[in-house]
Amino acid sequence: MLENILLVVSILLIAIVLLQSNRASDSGQIITGGNESLFQNTKERGLELLVSRITLVLGIVFFVVSFILFVK
């Protein structure tokens, strides 16, 4: 039962991470100094905020279920 939940959460977590905006693609410009806005504190709004919160919740659920399976 818990293994099935872990499988579903894992697939959902992978899918939602792939949907997130790709801020890491500009990380190559850190060396050259081309992207000043990379580490600025910008507010997430709308769909980006929702995706970020879903990722957080799925990550916590993944950790908790994995820990329960490990202890069991």
Tally the domains of the chain. Answer: 1
How would you write the chain as a 3-class SS string?
CHHHHHHHHHHHHHHHHHHCCCCHHHHHHHHHCCCCCCCCCCCCCCHHHHHHHHHHHHHHHHHHHHHHHHHC
Q: What is the pLDDT of residue 36?
A: 57
Q: In this structure, is residue 28 part of a structural domain? A: no
Output the pLDDT for position 43: 72
Q: Is residue 66 part of a domain?
A: yes
Residue numbers of the domain that contains 14: 1-19+43-72
The pTM of this model reads 0.72
Tens digits of residue pLDDT in 1-53:
999 999 999 999 999 998 886 655 555 555 665 555 555 666 777 888 888 89
